[in-house]
Structure 1
Amino acid sequence: MMFVLGILLLFAGIMFSVAWHELGHYLAARKFGIKVPEFFVGFGKTLWSRKVGETEFGVKMIPLGGYVRMIGMLPPAKGETLGRSRRTGPFQGLIDDARQQSAMDVLPEDANRQFYTRAPWKRIIVMAAGPFQNLILAVILFAIAIMGVGVPTSSTTISTVSQCVLPATAPQTEQCPADAPPSPAAAAGLLPGDKIVAFNGAPVTENDWRSLQEAIRAASGTVTITVERGDQRFDLTPTLIRTQAQDLNDPNRVVDVSFLGVTPVPTIARQGPVTVVVAVGDVIVRTGQAIINLPERLPNLFGSAFLGEERDQDGPVGIVGVSRIGGEFLAAEDFTATQRVLFLLNLLALVNISLFLFNLLPLPPLDGGQIFPALWEAIRKRIARVRGKPDPGPVDAAKLLPVAYVVALLFIGWSAILLVADVVNPIQLPF
């Protein structure tokens, strides 16, 4: 039941994210007086629709995206009569047909409500509004998770105390050998449940184990640790020892640090808005790098889908895969309700960051494929104005249609391979 619930929740969240994206386009287009005949989530056969005003809202069968149809996306060609082109070329028929189809949507009374007639900056806002809706939603989801629920962290309360010090090469056992020296924490009398409130006289922030850990590692010799045990507060004076341990910032690096011999109690603590900003920025950078590396992921994805090769656990995942991950996490018995909520919120936020960045790529038919021509048009207009030349007019986005079809075919092929891989060789969560 929880597995199915997780799949449904993630799928519904992704579809909401798609609709939220399209809502950005719709509201911006209406703001600038552009007519919007259709607003659909999905592609293919219409499952449900309802017309409100001049716009038909609905849901289609294939849940792989959505679209808002605005009239006049393609400008008329210069020096041509509709449907009668004097030019030839391998793609000219395709371009002319698309231009003619675009013009057929425009009624005489809507001539001044076409997309291409708006100033470049307005068209940029209309096309960028969709991706930025996803960014806004991602920030909201991260804020709910980080500020409202909290993030997994370690408290300054002691969970366990190492009773002895063993060499790194020695077998790790629950009982200490008779000749093993006691750990600094055990020798000083620290106990599980003790809450560290100060280190060498400096107050320790509750649930900020990382800062306390850094202070312990940097200290040397005998230190003073103030603890709370029940209703009592007192000082203990362990003598730290030096040892080799992983660097906190680079797990692949071993450094010489001081050792106390305690582990903290894990907890979930709410954080402030700065943590939200840092988290969003970090995810944007990592997601951007992942998108750039997508082409080199194709061989592994194809092999895991059709050749039985091992799936890259850090590789791309589609709607089916994301929904399945959500179902598996909710079905796992080792997590609390709070951890499940955090996982779903963060996963959906990651999906929205991906939609934000992917749609800004300057490739038609993505949103960036309309933003780039509008930017180029604005630059051309400014150059012509400075040089005292006449307005060069709108950039002919129809000339990019061959690129749009190639990109669309590549995207369909990529989505198909991803779907097969997510079904036959899904990414496995590490638990």
Structure 2
Amino acid sequence: MEVLAFVIGVLLMAVGLAVSIALHELGHLWPAKKFGVRVGQYMIGFGPTIWSRRIGETEYGFKAIPVGGYISMAGMYPPSPQAARRDGRAGGGFFATMVQDARDANDETLHGDDDPRVFYRLPVWKRIVVMLGGPVMNLLFAIVLFAILLSGIGVQTATTTVSSLSECVPATSSAACTASDPEAPSVAAGIEPGDTIVSIDGQPVADFAEASAIIRSSPGEALTIVVDRDGAEQSIMLTPATTQGQISADDGTTTTGEIGFAGISPAVEYVRQPIWAGPRMAAENVGAVAGIIWQLPVKVWETGVTLVTGGERDPNSPLSIVGAGRLSGEVAAADSPILNRVSGFLGLLASLNIALFVFNLIPLLPLDGGHIAVALWDGLKRAWAKLFRRPPPKPVDATKLVPITFAVFIALLVMGGILILADLFNPVQLL
């Protein structure tokens, strides 16, 4: 049964990833078509085509390797210079040949040098909108998933409803009750399972953490606790016992000292959060992922070291698609209520989309952020020429950056390979 649940979890993550990719490419496709750019293909995956259908001028389909996707827009770059068209690859060397290959592929999408329905002819702001569309769709999808998780399902919270009571004040937190142990203050006061704590000494409490903080800080002090029992409020006098425990300071340090003990265990329930909790969590995750992305090479190196040495892997290290699928399978196979597993899956998929959003904004080709950087550079050149009343410059020819693009691609390939191996042989463990 666990194996079946694990497989279902992996398949669900594969479907979730496919949806994420489809939305990402849709984020590029819709504004491109809206701005009049001719789009030849909208594909999910890479490699051989397993299914496709042409609707209008665009072919929609799926390819065999579901690890990404793309749309092919006409004229991503300006036409090749006439000299390059004449000379072709003669004497150009490896990188010059790559540049010319990119130009040739680009030229095949053009309907003449004056083709109006090409990407490079769009105003700078429209090019940025088209390239931002993909990452933004991942961000919006993550916000929706976090909203379902937090506002639809809720967050497991220790509530002010009493679940059970301790029978005594044990010598230590892990000790069992003995005949010589004093009765727990909650039992002595008459608190019952099912009671809901409304206030303590006139201070309303919203969750168990607030109630516990008051009790822990009041050892030996008589407290008036108002509880809701069967719809009616009752006042109960409770004096917390004095025990030794950990006291947390404002600076995060802890010390051992006297704390109050009542012997109350809270009921844990899913508490729905305000609708803005989803966007807030998405924003927090963007900051956290950005903190990892900028040091990605170091993180991947450290992951590779643990793979070779067999050391414990950092739980916050980056994951490959294999790692995300494996975690999803482990969540699905966990021995926990189904709602917990659904919440875990939604959180994983939302975090994956946040990672796609941040990663694609890196200003390096072939990532979306690289195309945005090219558009901004083109706009800057045009603004500079206009400021000094010079003739408009030629469009930026990004095919000249193919060698850099190739280097970035190789680096991503190597890092992805290391992460896949680490996720197979030294995976991140669920706590």
Find 2:313's aligned residue among 311, 314, 320.
311
Q: Which residue of 2 aligns with 1:27?
A: 30
Q: Which residue of 1 aligns with 2:415?
A: 414
Q: Which residue of 2 aligns with 1:73?
A: 76
Are residues 345 and 250 of structure 1, via their aligned partners in 2, closer, same or farther at CA, if it must alter by over 3 Å?
Answer: farther
Aligned residue pairs, count:
424
Are residues 83 and 14 of structure 1, via their aligned partners in 2, closer, same or farther at CA, if it must alter by over 3 Å?
Answer: farther
Structure-1 separation of matches of 2:256 and 2:341? 35
- Note the C-alpha offset of 1:330: 1.4
Q: Which residue of 2 aligns with 1:296?
A: 298
- Note the C-alpha offset of 1:398: 1.6
Structure-1 separation of matches of 2:191 and 2:133? 56
Q: Which residue of 1 aligns with 2:209?
A: 210
The question of whether the paired residues in 1 share the 8 Å contact of 2:153 and 2:343 is answered with: yes
Letter in 2 for 1:155: T
The question of whether the paired residues in 2 share the 8 Å contact of 1:83 and 1:100 is answered with: no
- Note the C-alpha offset of 1:79: 7.0
Structure-2 separation of matches of 1:249 and 1:272? 27
Letter in 1 for 2:192: L
Letter in 2 for 1:319: I
Are residues 81 and 426 of structure 1, via their aligned partners in 2, closer, same or farther at CA, if it must alter by over 3 Å?
Answer: closer
Question: After the TM superposition, which residues 163-174 of structure 1 pair with which residues of structure 2 at under 5 Å, given as runs?
Answer: 163-165=167-169, 170=172, 172-174=174-176
More off after superposition, 314-323 vs 117-126: 314-323
More off after superposition, 239-248 vs 267-276: 239-248
**TM-score, normalised by the number of residues in structure 1:** 0.89
Find 2:100's aligned residue among 96, 108, 121.
96
- Note the C-alpha offset of 1:384: 2.2
List alignment gaps of at least 5 residues for structure 1.
none
The question of whether the paired residues in 1 share the 8 Å contact of 2:42 and 2:58 is answered with: yes
Question: After the TM superposition, which residues 140-179 of structure 1 pair with which residues of structure 2 at under 5 Å, given as runs?
Answer: 140-165=144-169, 170=172, 172-176=174-178, 178=180
Structure-2 separation of matches of 1:79 and 1:253? 73
Q: Which residue of 2 aligns with 1:60?
A: 63
Matched, 1:358 2:362: no
Any idea what the Cα deviations from partners look like across 1:192-234, whole Å, max 9, x if unmatched? 33210122224433xx333334444566733211112345531
The question of whether the paired residues in 2 share the 8 Å contact of 1:39 and 1:68 is answered with: yes
Structure-2 separation of matches of 1:80 and 1:256? 82
- Note the C-alpha offset of 1:314: 3.0
Q: Which residue of 2 aligns with 1:200?
A: 201
**TM-score, normalised by the number of residues in structure 2:** 0.89
Structure-2 separation of matches of 1:185 and 1:308? 49
Find 2:109's aligned residue among 90, 94, 105.
105
- Note the C-alpha offset of 1:246: 5.1
- Note the C-alpha offset of 1:350: 0.6
Structure-1 separation of matches of 2:233 and 2:39? 68
Letter in 1 for 2:162: I
Q: Which residue of 1 aligns with 2:374?
A: 373
More off after superposition, 361-370 vs 157-166: 157-166
The question of whether the paired residues in 2 share the 8 Å contact of 1:163 and 1:176 is answered with: no
Structure-2 separation of matches of 1:216 and 1:72? 69
Are residues 110 and 385 of structure 1, via their aligned partners in 2, closer, same or farther at CA, if it must alter by over 3 Å?
Answer: closer
- Note the C-alpha offset of 1:110: 7.8
Q: Which residue of 2 aligns with 1:121?
A: 125
More off after superposition, 81-90 vs 353-362: 81-90
Structure-2 separation of matches of 1:231 and 1:361? 56
The question of whether the paired residues in 2 share the 8 Å contact of 1:300 and 1:309 is answered with: no
- Note the C-alpha offset of 1:91: 3.1
The question of whether the paired residues in 2 share the 8 Å contact of 1:155 and 1:267 is answered with: yes
The question of whether the paired residues in 1 share the 8 Å contact of 2:131 and 2:368 is answered with: yes
Q: Which residue of 1 aligns with 2:40?
A: 37
More off after superposition, 407-416 vs 74-83: 74-83
Letter in 2 for 1:389: R
Structure-1 separation of matches of 2:163 and 2:239? 20
Any idea what the Cα deviations from partners look like across 1:354-383, whole Å, max 9, x if unmatched? 100000010110000000111122222222
The question of whether the paired residues in 1 share the 8 Å contact of 2:79 and 2:106 is answered with: no
Structure-1 separation of matches of 2:23 and 2:217? 49
Question: After the TM superposition, which residues 127-276 of structure 1 pair with which residues of structure 2 at under 5 Å, given as runs?
Answer: 127-165=131-169, 170=172, 172-176=174-178, 178=180, 180=181, 182-205=183-206, 208-217=207-216, 221-230=221-230, 232-240=232-240, 241=242, 244-245=245-246, 247=248, 253-254=254-255, 258-261=259-262, 262-276=264-278
More off after superposition, 77-86 vs 276-285: 77-86
Letter in 2 for 1:107: H
Q: Which residue of 2 aligns with 1:8?
A: 11
SS state at 1:13 partner: helix
- Note the C-alpha offset of 1:251: 6.4
